Chain A
Amino acid sequence: MVLEADRLGKRYGSTWALRDCSLHLPTGRIAALVGPNGAGKSTLLHLAVGLLKPDAGTVRVFGRSPYGDTEGLADIGFVAQDTPLYRDFTASELVVAGGKLNKRWNAALARTRLAQLGIPPDKPVGKLSGGQRAQVALALALAKQPRLLLLDEPVASLDPLARREFLQSLMGSVAESGTTVLLSSHLLADLERVCDYLIVLNASQVQLTGTVDDLVAGHRQLVGPRHDGGAVGGVAAVIRASHTDRQSTLLVRTDGPVTDPAWTVREVSLEDVVLAYLADGTTKTSHSEWGVAA
């Protein structure tokens, strides 16, 4: 197990940014951490890389508690949101800097990658395009030859073409090394094609976690006559229900085949599943705060 969190929580003031977060990330997975903005994705990643100290529960990366653990940092590659780099450094200076800051450092790997991507070595990275800068940040993270690579919204600021290139080059390099990857995004569509494991975070809690195949296989859409809330054979839980006068559409988690002929059973896409979980319990009304009637 690469990453384990047990009832992990982090609080800013009186607000919990992450609460009761329990999850496991098995070795070798490319995991997508999906959730809307403010769901606690960055907080979880910062806890995993040891930037933050948990306020509740534990997080372990390769069996070690990452906060204050300098030794453990060698095994974790981290690219923070907006790929922050020293903007007045050139890409080649950053590669040198990485070498000074890390015991294990494959400068040749970084240089080869950056050469292949056509990144100019002697231009300050602040003058590169967003996509190029993200590639530099990724190359620096990979040069550590980490066993776990954490990427916080790596493609959020990139245009669609740069997104595809970034994810392609990421997949190309981790496929060879067997690195476990956890990358976050507020858009599943960005990551759907590359990930094989999914963690859905919403309102500071884990809503869903599992391999993509299991999640898709374990959920179905049922369309049938208006549903009164009674049990349906083969359905473990109704995740989301929408009703018209005569008809109900349910997204359900199944624990067996749904044989009731009243229901039309359809397969669902990963996105359908994620949206159903995100829609569940998201409406945090703030009518009173705005002083309007609910």
Chain B
Amino acid sequence: MIWLTWRQHRKQAFYTLLGFAALAAVLVPIGLAMRNTFSDLGLVDCVSQLARADVAQTTRETCDAGFRRFGNQYGSLNLVAVLLITLPALVGLFWGAPLVAREVEQGTHRFVWTQGVGRNRWALVKFGLVGAAVVILAAVYGLGMSWWVDPLNQAAHEGRLGMIVFDLQGIAPIGYTLFAVALGIFAGTVWKRMLPAMGITLAGFIGVRAAVEILARPYYQAARTKTFPIEGDGPPEVSRGDWILTQGVRNPDGTMIAEDTRIQCPPGGKGPDGRVCGAELGVEPGAYNWQLYQPADRFWLFQGIETGIFVALAVLLLYLAVRRIRRIA
């Protein structure tokens, strides 16, 4: 059975590895260049400096300037990162969907399921081997991406918890890839043709990923709130690496008077023509900036939860696929 699996998929495995190697050949030099620039601009130092509470005003300004320069040079790579999050879906399309669908489409399931091993064993070995290969691939991908995207994270204020960068690195890609493959296999047992199975896999993958990302991920842990005064010196305090869910300006009684914004006025609180700071928003004395956020140190916890959700979905889909396979003739 192992021999058969290898013989059937060796060409596919070869092309997958080839594609992977080509991707690495492009991304590794970029990653190295990015890291060189990052340290040349003194940003490594900045990261540790800014983490401290008592940052000198000048340090902060030079560091921000450095981050801006880095951002200007490599900011467009965030687009590449968006493209890279499609990789798990591709694995699902080309490894998951054909696994059962191609057998049924070509009728070979009637050959292989009537040999001495039986279809349960067939499914177990095939799913197991393909699953293991995919996990290894996804782990390499996730860790490689963590390394690659790190400078971009540091330069961006959102940090690793932000959308897209979170999805790209760590262990979450393992969950996504397993889920995509399992969804492909399951779709193949329902639609039994490769193209429809691939289409359903793609649509289902995007749907579930978006739903989890938007509806579930912000609530994995109770979000924290933080307030800032609206009067203050110097550049506004930013929380590096936190994932800000919502923010706005609230009056002392708690009513939100301006969503998705922050204001800051110099001490004394006079606007340009002598008005009170923020008067045009309807700010009352004692108003404050407010934000709801997930702190940066929850990254691995969130990665674990996200991976767990998708692995659980994958296991469920594989179980359903095995059940459906028993009914395919």
Which residues from chain A sit less than 8 Å from chain B, CB to CB? 46, 49-53, 68, 70, 73-74, 76, 78, 80-82, 84-89, 93, 96-98, 100-105, 137, 140, 144
B110 surroundings in chain A (CB, below 8 A): 46, 51, 78, 80, 84
CB distance from A55 to the nearest CB of B (A): 11
Q: Which A residues touch B118, using CB under 8 A?
A: 68, 70, 73
Interface string of B39-54 (1 = CB under 8 A from A): 0000000000000000
Closest 6 pairs (CB-CB, A-B): A70-B118, A84-B107, A80-B110, A101-B115, A102-B116, A51-B329
A84 to B115, CA, bound (A): 13
A78 B107 Cβ-Cβ under 8 A? no
Cβ distance A113 to chain B, nearest Cβ, rounded Å: 17
Residues on B with C-beta less than 8 A from A82 are 107
Known: A68-B326, A78-B110. 19 other contacts (CB 8 A): A50-B114, A51-B114, A52-B329, A53-B327, A73-B114, A76-B114, A80-B107, A80-B114, A84-B106, A86-B8, A86-B108, A87-B106, A88-B11, A93-B7, A97-B3, A97-B7, A100-B3, A101-B116, A103-B116
B4 within 8 Å of A (CB atoms): yes
Interface residues of B in 159-189 (CB under 8 A from A): none
Complex contacts, A88 vs chain B, CB 8 Å = 11
A and B contact pairs by CB, cutoff 8 A, 12 listed = A51-B328, A73-B118, A76-B114, A78-B114, A81-B107, A85-B111, A88-B11, A93-B7, A101-B1, A103-B116, A137-B111, A144-B116
B7, B116, B121: the one contacting A74 at CB < 8 Å is B116
Main secondary structure of the interface of A (DSSP, over half): loop
User: Could you count the A-B residue pairs with CB atoms below 8 Å apart for me: how many are there?
Assistant: 72
Nearest-neighbour CB distance to chain A for B109, whole angstroms, equals 8
Residues of B within 8 A of A49 (CB): 114
Assuming the A-B contacts A68-B326, A74-B116, are A101 and B108 also in contact, with contact meaning beta carbons closer than 8 angstroms in the complex? no
| Complex interface: chain B residues within 8 A of A85 (CB) | 108, 111
A52 and B327 CA atoms in complex are apart in Å by 7
List, in ascending order, chain B residues with CB within 8 A of A46's CB. Answer: 110, 329
Known contacts A81-B107, A86-B8: A101-B329 contact under CB 8 Å: no
Q: Which of B1-24 contact A (CB under 8 A)?
A: 1-4, 7-8, 11
A100 in contact with B4 given A80-B107, A84-B111 (CB within 8 Å) = yes
A200 to chain B minimum Cβ distance, whole angstroms, is 23
Which of chain A's residues have a CB closer than 8 A to the CB of B328? 51
Find B113's partner among A51, A97, A104 (CB 8 Å cutoff).
A51
Expressed in whole angstroms, the Cα–Cα distance for A85 and B118 within the complex equals: 16
Residue of B1, B11, B107, B329 most packed against chain A (CB within 10 A): B329
